[in-house]
């Protein structure tokens, strides 16, 4: 609207200048326009008055293959609800709901609605929650997002579920009313089945607790043995004789593998899961809700983990659109598993 007003004033000033100078050619040189342009403007002004100088608002052409408006609104709503999802993720998840659109189609819709950048989608997400309590400041969210950018995925060799699990400690920082928070994260490198439990400290007790409470009961219920676990060289995972975590693995005949010294990114598979946790759960949920206890936050995390493991489509080269639970219970891998 502002641009249209400027164009209107520009044309009116051109006409007034020519009238004042009584010289059309000189006025056209001042405004760097042709005499034909001047006479076109003058004709419109004489016929329609000031309204004739207004630029007509151009509408985007209706393309024959353009996504229907109702479907586009559904895609936009889903993208705003899940602002950290990429175009492939949005396309894959919507296909599970019966809404079929390609990743390039999602990108086109984002582009038309100025949502191509993740930051733009996060801003739209925040606008829908204005006035609600949020436990994260903008600086905290920026910190989490910048941290997630540093986490890169690396491929590891894993032939069947339970062959190799990766474990890591993800530090979230401080939360008002709760204090420092650490997440013990475990993920199966074969099918990306993940576990996560929140603590207020990181010691050998917490690293063992997540295995005892969440990981081992799951694999035992499916009759899948855990062969090895990869961790970094932190004190919570290894140390002097009598280390609780190492003694637990040894007693269960689980091989404890460690990353190269000063090369934590050799545990890149779990770092990619950490990034997913940050982007898809913590950054989003902690903007939606005010948490007053770890138990409350853990309950929401457990609900998200159910979605991640049982409902969320994965695009990895091993998973190929299936959920982690489908890979975990794929009986076609059982012969390899038994041989292992």
Domain boundaries along the sequence of the chain: 2-53, 69-128, 145-339
Report residue 103's pLDDT band, with 50, 70 and 90 as the boundaries: confident
Report residue 150's pLDDT band, with 50, 70 and 90 as the boundaries: very low
Task: Report residue 196 as tokens.
Answer: 């996560």
**Is pLDDT at 276 greater than 60 in this prediction?**
yes
What Cα–Cα distance (Å) separates residue 202 from each residue in 165, 172, 196, 210, 279? Answer: 19, 12, 13, 11, 22
250-273: b (≥16 Cβ within 10 Å) or e? eeeebebeebeeeeeeebbbbbbb
Average pLDDT over residues 105-113: 88
Q: Determine the pLDDT at residue 195.
A: 96
Q: What integer best gives the mean pLDDT of the chain?
A: 80
Give me the half-sphere count of Cα atoms (radius 13 Å) on the Cβ side of residue 212. 12
Name which of 141, 87, 104 is nearest 78 in CA terms.
87
What Cα–Cα distance (Å) separates residue 257 from each residue in 129, 231, 241? Answer: 44, 6, 17
**Lowest mean pLDDT segment, chosen from 53-67, 95-109, 179-193, 263-277:** 53-67
Residues of the chain above pLDDT 70, percent: 79
**Beta bridge pairs of residue 256:** 229
pTM, full prediction:
0.59
What Cα–Cα distance (Å) separates residue 87 from each residue in 90, 229, 323? Answer: 5, 33, 18
**Beta bridge pairs of residue 184:** 169, 197
Q: Determine the pLDDT at residue 134.
A: 46
Name which of 218, 154, 157 is nearest 340 in CA terms.
157
Note the pLDDT tens digit of each residue in 7-55: 777 788 888 888 888 888 888 888 888 989 889 988 888 888 877 777 6
Sign of CA dihedral 153, 157, 158, 164: negative
Average pLDDT over residues 70-90: 85
Instruction: State the CATH architecture for 145-339.
Output: 2-Layer Sandwich (3.30)
Residues of the chain above pLDDT 90, percent: 22
Note the pLDDT tens digit of each residue in 176-212: 777 888 999 999 988 889 999 999 999 999 999 999 9
| 138 Cβ neighbours under 8 A, 6+ residues apart | none
Question: CA 141 from chain center: how many Å?
Answer: 13
Mode of pairing for the β-strands spanning 179-188 and 165-175: antiparallel
**Is pLDDT at 2 greater than 80 in this prediction?**
no
**Is pLDDT at 333 greater than 70 in this prediction?**
no
Cα separation of 53 and 34, whole Å?
A: 17
Q: What angle do CA 222, 225, 227 make, to 5 degrees?
A: 150
């Amino acid at each position: 609207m502002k641009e249209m007003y400027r164009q209107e004033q520009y044309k009116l000033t051109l006409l007034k200048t020519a009238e004042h100078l009584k010289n059309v050619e000189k006025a056209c040189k001042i405004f760097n326009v042709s005499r034909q342009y001047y006479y076109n403007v003058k004709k419109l002004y004489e016929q329609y008055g000031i309204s004739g100088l207004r630029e007509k608002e151009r509408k985007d052409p209706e393309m024959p293959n353009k996504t229907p408006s109702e479907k586009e609104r559904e895609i936009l709503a889903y993208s705003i609800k899940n602002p950290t999802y990429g175009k492939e993720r949005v396309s894959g998840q919507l296909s599970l709901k019966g809404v079929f659109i390609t990743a390039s189609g999602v990108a086109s819709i984002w582009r038309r609605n100025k949502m191509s950048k993740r930051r733009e989608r996060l801003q739209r997400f925040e606008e829908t929650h204005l006035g609600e309590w949020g436990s994260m400041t903008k600086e905290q969210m920026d910190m989490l997002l910048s941290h997630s950018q540093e986490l890169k995925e690396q491929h590891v060799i894993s032939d069947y579920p339970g062959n190799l699990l990766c474990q890591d400690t993800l530090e979230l920082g401080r939360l008002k009313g709760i204090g420092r928070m650490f997440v013990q994260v475990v993920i199966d490198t074969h099918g990306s089945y993940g576990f996560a439990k929140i603590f207020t400290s990181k010691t050998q007790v917490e690293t063992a607790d997540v295995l005892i409470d969440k990981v081992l009961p799951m694999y035992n219920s499916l009759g899948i043995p855990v062969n090895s676990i990869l961790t970094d060289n932190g004190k919570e995972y290894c140390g002097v004789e009598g280390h609780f975590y190492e003694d637990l693995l040894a007693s269960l005949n689980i091989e404890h593998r460690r990353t190269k010294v000063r090369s934590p990114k050799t545990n890149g598979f779990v770092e990619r899961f950490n990034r997913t946790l940050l982007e898809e759960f913590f950054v989003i949920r902690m903007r939606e809700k005010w948490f007053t206890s770890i138990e409350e936050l853990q309950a929401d995390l457990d609900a998200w983990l159910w979605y991640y493991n049982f409902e969320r489509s994965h695009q990895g080269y091993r998973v190929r659109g299936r959920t982690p639970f489908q890979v975990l219970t794929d009986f076609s891998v059982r012969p390899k598993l038994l041989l292992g």
